[in-house]
């Protein structure tokens, strides 16, 4: 106990550095989403459907090849029409991964248990030098 009281600053530094190392996992809710490479594997192996939740103007400027545009505000109403089979993996994407993160919650509420977020969105997709198509 004497050690802790005399070396409280060292203890504080150790706790702070440990928290800093764990922050990426904690901040993403224990795992985050898919990397662009994992998304491509899911598309190729399990025929995952890519849903872009950006607004139509953003979608037209550039999107993942084969993605379908369903803006976040319309997702609850339109997702069951666009993806009829709820057993198929659904990858939700947007520009940064923030809107698509919220979209995952909506999709799971609708029964799409295999819905996943593209972590980092189209920015991460482009940074990984994956192809985009424009409308």
- In angstroms, the CA 79 to CA 37 distance is 24
Q: 27 near 42, Cβ under 8 Å?
A: no
Q: 93 near 49, Cβ under 8 Å?
A: no
Matching residue, tokens 């698509």: 100
Active site residue 94: yes
- Could you tell me the CA-to-CA distances from 34 to 51, 91, 119 in Å, in that order? 14, 8, 5
Catalytic residue among 51, 91, 93, 94: 94
- Residues with a catalytic annotation lie at 94
């Amino acid at each position: 106990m004497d050690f802790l009281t005399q070396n409280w600053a060292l203890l504080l530094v150790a706790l702070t550095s440990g928290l800093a190392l764990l922050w990426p996992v904690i901040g993403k809710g224990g795992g985050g989403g898919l990397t662009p490479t994992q998304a491509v594997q899911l598309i190729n192996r399990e025929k995952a459907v890519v849903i872009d939740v950006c607004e139509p103007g953003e979608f037209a400027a550039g999107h993942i090849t084969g993605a379908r545009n369903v803006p976040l505000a319309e997702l609850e109403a339109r997702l069951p029409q666009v993806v009829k089979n709820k057993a198929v993996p659904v990858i939700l994407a947007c520009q940064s991964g923030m809107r698509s993160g919220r979209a995952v919650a909506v999709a799971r509420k609708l029964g799409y248990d295999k819905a996943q977020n593209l972590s980092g969105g189209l920015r991460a997709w482009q940074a990984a030098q994956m192809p985009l198509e424009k409308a």
